[in-house]
């Protein structure tokens, strides 16, 4: 049989053991940076401070009362740790870089180092955690009573002490213990290795105890199946129906938020983290720990329900079942396990909260009103420790009072969920702080405030129903009889489970205000700066942003501030590292702004971002102004960059224009030289007939006695030459008119085959004279192209005349064929002459290019083909030289068929 | 060894899938009125899902290797 005295003595002894562990853990961790205490295993075990007596006792009770719901409390955190890469890793990295000390510090730092926001978050946390602390006090009290009540002589020293007195004793003991434990010194990074070591030890104890009880139950019950079958036979069963309802989703969401935002979880997971790689192990090891903790909850609950007398408190099954089987040793182990889970939670939670209170409420007040007190050396450090001790007392007192007022409610889990709902109000702001650049301070403050108001009204207030009749009346009828303001049926939303109802209204209003507010308000310069620091934490080279945000100060002033907060030794070490001389007065080296930024982060590690910022602003000249200036400068720099980019664009455009001009110029020069060449060719062409005309006419003028027939021949030659001259000039005029597109041109539907026939008819005389045989190839008649029939005929005549004129074969042949198809009309005119020499083929369409084959016989000016090509081009076709079917040349005219036809 | 972005994709998939599987409507699929060894089937389902998430995370975290985040927060000192 266990007596209460013995149990209490064991508990005190256990606490003493923890203290020794913490003491040596601290020394060990300080001496050896690579000790076991810096391992990922200890880190993981310390995170399992999440499993409090709510888990140890409450989960069994919860399983007995509402089935599988207890699992959500562990499945939610499992999801957060499975997705550690996306949320926790970012959180840890940012907190390391910015020396974040708490969730209030995180939000304050992100939203422009706002102290008001930090105060709000701290107050909500202190009030919101009170039920949670009360839960632990209640669990410890109930467990002591369960042991004491199990036998007649077991009361011992507890005789005559009711549960309130007992809870007060527990609270007082816890306060003393936590103050001794957690507030011995102020650490730069708020890391408490000794405490973490003790917490890790407690994690092992509570897991061992719960598993031991579980194994015992399975053993006594004759196996897992036997327990459930026996329970089913007695009509007791775990409620597995309608598991996945709205309440399931609600508690799942709450536990996701809680594992991130609970002050003690933030403390162990983020602040106490000494190496980011530890997260890698914790990501699966912590869920595994929770799985092990949950494994025997159901068997214990079912076994307790079926074997224990009706009316037993299911929350205490883990303790009362071994007692019922007279297993005193196991019962003591179970008690120590439950005690472990409660003490670890109270210690860490009150340490975390006391840091928040001292950094965000006490420090700013001191900075504002009691400047004289901080002037003494070590003054700030001592002040911080005192503030923390008083906050621990305050927090446990609040917890005790909540316990005192709500002691009549019996279940543990619902009390914890009230705290979870309060803490969950930080979650939207935390997520926005990490992932949304535009989230603003005003919106975050308003969002958390409105969520808190809904929490007080819908969740906190209703928990006092058993205390006050007024509150019970309020719940039924609403304030002043306004039914739509009833705390558990806001805006007429009835029929919901109260927890789901409270979480829905508080979180949805919270998120709405946060999003809408951020869209409507604007950020200050410091907010924008911090938002960039937070969101770009994984981008290389972006961590130095804040160093440019500060003005300048003398090394002496800075040292004065640093010494007061960090202590003489650490401040000196910090300044020595930077090689700054203290006390030289004038001419001393000015600290760089990077150093001031680093100093601010170091200070923030001790007193929070907002207080550190205020403190440094006092000695750093014009830091606020310079911040605005820096932002403005950044804006101007951006403008300059944009301007220079525009200049570059313009210069590129200019370059391309210049290139185009150059090309045009080259083309003009080319044309100019072509014109010169043309002129010289024309002069040459004109000169030959002119010379002969002049010489013959001179002979006629000089020699009056010339014979008549001779005179006649000379005159004929002059006439012939002048005709040739006229033809040449006509052709030149014709060509230039064609090139300028000025000549009379009659567009009409032309049958090209008919035009060809006409050209042959016209050339009949010449053909007969030269005895040329015209052969017809395939003919495409009655096609239609658009153009001038006379000009087309001129082209054909020119080609035929050329073919005849240059043909030196003994039996000259002309092969003419026409073809129509594919939208085009084609005419080939081939001869069996000598063909065109290879080197002439490229130039025969040029002006005055006569080719070599003509010899003296030729009479044309060499413009015919050029003119023909111009005409065909004008009709949209081509004139080209192709390999022909006969030995001679073959000219091909291709014309587009008239689309209308 | 898979690339970093694929591992991150795997982590995201595991997280999202885990969340979906423990919420309605997907959870209804396994929430049948069946009893194995005296225990309702849904209990087995939830614990099995839990175990899969733990093992999956352990495998992915191991594969990611410690180098990815070795440059820890002390870098700015």
HEC secondary structure over A706-763: CCHHHHHHHHHHHHHHHHHHHHHHHHHHHHHHHHHCCCCCCCEEECHHHHHHHHHHHC
**A894 DSSP 8-state letter:** E
Which residues is A787 bridged to in the sheet?
A748
A459 CB-contact burial (10 Å; exposed 0-12 / middle 13-18 / buried 19+): buried
Measure CA of the first residue to CA of the last residue in chain A; give whole Å: 119
When scoring A63, A75, A85, A189 by the number of chain B Cβ atoms within 10 A, the one with the most, hence best to mutate, is A85
Nearest to A558 by CA among A592, A530, A524: A592
Coil, strand or helix: which one is A896?
strand
| B11 in A contact zone (CB under 8 Å) | yes
pLDDT of amino acid B66 = 62
The beta-strand segments (E) located in chain B are 35-36, 39-40
Q: Find which of A63, A232, A244, A500 to mutate to test the B interface (most B CBs within 10 Å of its CB).
A: A244
Burial of A74 (0-12, 13-18, 19+ CB in 10 A): buried
Chain A residues 580-599 with a CB less than 8 Å from chain B: 598
Q: Do residue B39 and residue A228 have CB atoms under 8 angstroms apart?
A: yes
CB–CB contact B40 A240 (8 Å): yes
Q: What is the rounded CA–CA span in Å between residue A664 and residue A658?
A: 10
Find the residue in A nearest to B61 (Cα): A280
Give the one of B28, B51, B56 whose C-beta lies nearest to A244's C-beta: B28
In a mutational test of the A interface, the residue from B51, B61, B70 whose CB has the highest number of chain A CBs within 10 Å is B61
CB nearest B11 (choices: A75, A78, A83): A83
Evaluate whether A174 touches A134 at the Cβ level (below 8 Å): no
Looking at residue A856, what is its pLDDT? 41
Judged by CB atoms closer than 8 Å, whether chains meet at A82 and B38 is answered as: no
Cβ-based neighbours of A250, under 8 Å, separated by 6 or more: A497, A499, A500, A503, A504
Contacts of B58 in chain A (CB under 8 A): 283-284
Separation between Cα atoms, residue A99 and residue A111, nearest integer Å: 15
pLDDT at residue A284 in the model: 92
- CA dist A29 and A38 (Å) reads 7
ipTM of the complex: 0.88
Coil vs helix vs strand at A231: helix
User: B34 to chain A: which residues are within 8 Å by CB?
Assistant: none
Confidence of residue B54 (pLDDT cuts 50, 70, 90): very high
Q: Do A203 and A344 form a contact (C-beta atoms < 8 A)?
A: yes
Nearest one of A682, A545, A664, A651 to A600, comparing CA atoms = A545
* Residue A171 near residue A137 (C-beta atoms within 8 A): yes
48-77 of A, contacting B, C-beta below 8 A:
68, 71, 75
Quote the CA–CA distance of A711 and A713 in Å, as a whole number. Answer: 5
Instruction: Output the pLDDT for position A547.
Output: 43
Give the residue among A608, A110, A105, A124 at the shortest CA–CA distance from A384: A608
Contacts of B54 in chain A (CB under 8 A): 78, 284, 287-288, 291
Say if residues A148 and A156 touch (Cβ distance below 8 Å).
yes
Gyration radius from chain B CA atoms: 17
Q: Is A543 on the interface with B (CB under 8 A)?
A: yes
Identify the helix (H) or strand (E) that includes residue A35. none
Query: Can you tell me the distance from the alpha carbon of A465 to that of A474, in angstroms, rounded to the nearest whole number?
Result: 9
CA dihedral A529→A532→A533→A538, nearest 10 degrees, is -170
Q: Please list, in sequence order, all residues whose beta carbon lies within 8 angstroms of the beta carbon of residue A426, skipping any fewer than 6 positions away.
A: A103, A107, A121, A124, A125, A257, A261, A448
pLDDT in tens, A312-335: 888 888 888 888 888 888 888 998
Paired residues of A813 in beta bridges: A773
Q: Of the candidates A448, A439, A278, A387, which has an alpha carbon nearest to the alpha carbon of residue A608?
A: A387
Please tell me the distance in Å from A635's CA to the nearest CA on chain B.
Answer: 27
Q: Are strands A878-882 and A890-896 parallel, antiparallel or unpaired?
A: antiparallel
In SS3 terms, A398-444 reads as HHHHHHHHCCCCCCCHHHHHHHHHHHHCCHHHHHHHHHCCCCCHHHH
What is the spatial distance between Cα A218 and Cα B37, in angstroms, rounded to a whole number?
A: 13
Report how far residue B41's alpha carbon sits from residue B60's, in angstroms, rounded to the nearest whole number: 28
**Phi and psi at residue A78, to the nearest 5°:** -60, -45
Nearest chain A alpha carbon to B66: A277
Measured CA to CA, the distance from residue A587 to residue B38 in angstroms comes to 85
According to DSSP, the residues that pair with A829 across neighbouring strands are A816, A891
DSSP three-state, residue A842 = coil
pLDDT in tens, A160-185: 667 788 888 888 988 888 888 777 66
- Which residues from B are below 8 Å from A541, CB to CB? none
Q: Residue A815: enclosing H or E segment and its boundaries?
A: strand A813-821
Which residues 6+ apart lie within 8 Å of A596 measured at CB? A547, A550, A552, A553, A558, A616, A620
Closest Cβ–Cβ partner in A89, A252, A287 for B69: A89
Give the pTM: 0.67
What is the greatest pairwise CA distance in chain A?
A: 178
Q: What is the pLDDT of residue A344?
A: 87
- Contact flag A280-B61 (C-beta cutoff 8 Å): yes
Give the residue on B whose Cα is nearest the Cα of A248: B23
Prior bond to B25 cis, omega within 30? yes
**A858 contacts: CB under 8 Å, gap ≥ 6:** A805, A806, A850
- Ranges of residues in chain A whose predicted pLDDT is under 50: 152-154, 374, 541-550, 583-587, 622-625, 852-858, 901
Q: How many CB atoms lie within 10 A of CB B33?
A: 9
Strand A773-776 vs strand A813-821: parallel, antiparallel, or unpaired? parallel
Q: Which of residues 76-95 of A touch B (CB under 8 A)?
A: 78-79, 81-86, 89, 92-93, 95
Rounded Cα distance between A153 and A192, Å, is 42
Q: Is B61 on the interface with A (CB under 8 A)?
A: yes
Selected residues 207-266 of chain A with any CB under 8 Å from a CB in chain B: 224-229, 232, 238, 240, 243-244, 248-249, 252
pLDDT of residue A231: 83
Eight-state DSSP code of residue A608:
-
Check B23 against A232: CB less than 8 A apart: no
Q: Does A577 touch chain B (CB under 8 A)?
A: no
Cα–Cα distance for residue pair A94/A546, rounded to 1 Å? 13
Three-state SS sequence of A499-567: HHHHHHHHHHHHHHHHHHHHHHCCCCHHHHHHHHHHHCCCCCCCCCHHHHHCCECCHHHHHHHHHHHHC
Q: Hey, what's the torsion of the CAs at A22, A28, A32, A37, to 10 degrees?
A: -40
In total, the C-beta contacts within 8 angstroms joining chain A to chain B are 118
CA distance A92 to A665: 67
Q: How far apart are CA A211 and CA A215, in angstroms?
A: 6
CB atoms within 10 A of CB A17: 13
Asked whether the beta carbons of residue A68 and residue B38 sit closer than 8 angstroms, the reply is no
Q: Are A484 and A472 in contact (CB under 8 A)?
A: no
């Amino acid at each position: 049989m266990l007596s209460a005295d013995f149990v209490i003595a064991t508990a005190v002894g256990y606490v003493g053991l923890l203290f020794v562990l913490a003491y040596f853990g601290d020394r060990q961790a300080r001496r050896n940076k690579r000790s076991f205490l810096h391992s990922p295993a200890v880190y993981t075990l310390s995170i399992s401070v999440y499993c409090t007596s709510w888990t140890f006792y409450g989960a069994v009770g919860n399983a007995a009362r509402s089935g599988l719901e207890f699992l959500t409390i562990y499945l939610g955190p499992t999801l957060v740790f499975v997705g550690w890469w996306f949320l926790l890793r970012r959180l840890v990295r940012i907190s390391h870089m910015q020396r974040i000390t708490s969730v209030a510090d995180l939000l304050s730092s992100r939203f422009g180092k706002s102290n008001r926001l930090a105060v709000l978050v701290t107050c909500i946390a202190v009030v919101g955690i009170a039920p949670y602390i009360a839960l632990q006090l209640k669990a410890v009290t109930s467990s002591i009573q369960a042991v004491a009540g199990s036998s007649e002589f077991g009361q011992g020293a507890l005789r005559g002490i009711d549960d309130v007195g007992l809870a007060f004793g527990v609270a007082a003991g816890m306060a003393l213990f936590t103050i001794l434990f957690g507030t011995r010194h102020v650490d730069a990074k708020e890391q408490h290795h000794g405490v973490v070591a003790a917490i890790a030890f407690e994690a092992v104890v509570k897991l061992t105890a719960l598993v031991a009880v579980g194994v015992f139950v399975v053993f006594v019950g004759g196996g897992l199946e036997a327990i459930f079958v026996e329970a089913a036979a007695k009509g007791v069963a775990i409620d597995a129906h309608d598991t996945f309802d709205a309440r399931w989703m609600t508690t799942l969401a709450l536990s996701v938020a809680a594992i991130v935002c609970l002050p003690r979880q933030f403390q162990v997971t983020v602040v106490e983290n000494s190496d980011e790689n530890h997260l890698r192990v914790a990501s699966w090891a912590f869920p595994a720990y929770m799985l092990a903790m949950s494994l025997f909850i159901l068997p214990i609950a079912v076994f307790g329900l079926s074997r224990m007398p009706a009316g037993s408190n299911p929350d205490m099954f883990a303790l009362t079942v071994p007692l019922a089987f007279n297993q005193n040793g196991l019962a003591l182990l179970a008690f120590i396990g439950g005690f472990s889970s409660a003490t670890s939670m109270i210690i860490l939670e009150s340490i975390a909260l006391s840091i928040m209170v001292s950094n965000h409420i006490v420090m700013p007040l001191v900075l504002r009103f009691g400047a004289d007190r901080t002037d003494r050396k070590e003054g700030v450090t001592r002040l911080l420790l005192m503030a923390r001790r008083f906050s621990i007392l305050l927090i446990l007192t609040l917890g005790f009072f909540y316990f005192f007022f709500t002691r009549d409610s019996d279940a543990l889990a619902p009390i914890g969920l009230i705290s979870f709902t309060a803490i969950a109000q930080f979650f939207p702001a935390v997520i926005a702080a990490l992932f949304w650049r535009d989230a603003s301070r005003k919106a975050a403050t308003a969002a958390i405030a409105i969520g808190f108001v809904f929490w007080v009204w819908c969740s906190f207030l209703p928990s006092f129903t058993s205390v006050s009749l007024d509150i019970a009346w309020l719940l039924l009828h609403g304030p002043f009889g306004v039914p739509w303001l009833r705390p558990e049926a806001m805006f007429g939303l009835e029929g919901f489970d109260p927890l789901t109802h409270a979480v829905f209204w508080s979180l949805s209003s919270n998120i709405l205000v946060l999003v809408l507010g951020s869209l409507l308000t604007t950020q200050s310069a410091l907010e924008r700066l911090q938002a960039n620091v937070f969101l770009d934490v994984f981008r290389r080279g972006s961590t130095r942003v804040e160093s440019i945000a500060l003005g300048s100060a003398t090394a002496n002033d800075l040292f004065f501030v640093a010494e007061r907060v960090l202590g003489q030794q650490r401040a000196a070490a910090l300044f020595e590292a930077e090689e700054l001389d203290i006390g030289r007065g004038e001419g001393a080296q000015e600290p760089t702004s990077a150093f001031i930024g680093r100093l601010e982060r170091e200070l923030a590690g001790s007193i929070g971002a907002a207080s550190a910022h205020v403190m440094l602003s006092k000695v750093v000249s014009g830091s606020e102004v310079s911040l605005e200036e820096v932002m403005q400068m950044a804006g101007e720099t951006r403008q300059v960059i944009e301007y220079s980019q525009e200049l570059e664009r313009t210069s590129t455009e200019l370059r391309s224009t210049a290139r185009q001009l150059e090309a045009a110029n080259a083309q003009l020069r080319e044309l100019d030289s072509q014109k010169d060449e043309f002129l010289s060719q024309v002069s040459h062409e004109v000169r030959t007939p002119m010379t002969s005309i002049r010489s013959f006419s001179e002979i006629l003028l000089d020699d009056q006695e010339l014979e008549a027939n001779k005179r006649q021949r000379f005159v004929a030659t002059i006439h012939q030459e002048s005709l040739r001259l006229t033809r040449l000039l006509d052709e030149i005029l014709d060509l230039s008119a064609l090139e300028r597109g000025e000549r009379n041109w009659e567009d009409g539907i032309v049958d090209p085959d008919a035009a060809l026939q006409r050209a042959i008819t016209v050339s009949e005389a010449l053909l007969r004279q030269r005895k040329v045989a015209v052969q017809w190839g395939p003919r495409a008649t009655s096609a239609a192209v658009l153009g001038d029939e006379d000009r087309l005929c001129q082209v054909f005549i020119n080609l035929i005349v050329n073919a005849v004129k240059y043909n030196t074969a003994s039996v000259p042949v002309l092969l003419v064929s026409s073809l129509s198809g594919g939208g085009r009309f084609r005419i080939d005119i081939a001869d069996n002459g000598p063909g065109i020499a290879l080197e002439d083929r490229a130039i025969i369409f040029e002006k005055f290019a006569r080719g070599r084959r003509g010899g003296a016989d030729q009479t044309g000016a060499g413009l015919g083909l050029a003119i023909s090509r111009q005409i065909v081009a004008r009709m949209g076709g081509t004139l080209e030289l192709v390999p022909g079917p006969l030995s001679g040349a073959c000219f091909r005219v291709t014309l587009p068929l008239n689309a209308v036809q | 060894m898979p690339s970093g972005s694929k591992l991150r994709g795997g982590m995201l998939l595991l997280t999202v899938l885990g969340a979906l599987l423990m919420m309605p409507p997907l959870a209804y699929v396994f929430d049948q009125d069946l009893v194995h060894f005296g225990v309702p089937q849904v209990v087995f389902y939830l614990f099995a899902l839990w175990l899969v998430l733990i093992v999956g995370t352990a495998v992915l975290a191991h594969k990611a290797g410690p180098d990815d985040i070795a440059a820890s927060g002390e870098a700015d000192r």
